Amino acid sequence: MNIYVGNLPYSVSEDDLKNVFGEFGEVTSVSIITDKYSGRSKGFGFVEMSTDSEASEAINSLNESDLKGRNMRVNEAKPRTER
């Protein structure tokens, strides 16, 4: 399952997210979205976990939890829509 993670501090790395979500199961991929011009984090990213049950547990446990001083928004990622 793909998980959206928002309201991230700009200092958070992909390794930080992998460690946080890894407590709930196997993390298959992590990507933090960056600005294509400045290379700076946009404050959100995606974590993919191997099973839906592990992902659901992570979502329920981590939504609104503190990471480096900010409360993360964690929920199931929605498919991208055409603009």
> To which CATH superfamily is domain 2-76 assigned?
RRM (RNA recognition motif) domain (3.30.70.330)
Convert the pLDDT of each residue in 10-42 to its tens digit: 999 999 999 999 999 999 999 999 999 999 999
Convert the pLDDT of each residue in 37-59 to its tens digit: 999 999 999 999 999 999 999 99
Residue type, 82: E
80: phi then psi, degrees, rounded to nearest 5: -70, 135
For the chain, where are the E strands, in sequence order?
A: 2-6, 27-34, 41-49, 66-67, 70-71, 73-76
- The answer to whether the pTM exceeds 0.95 is no
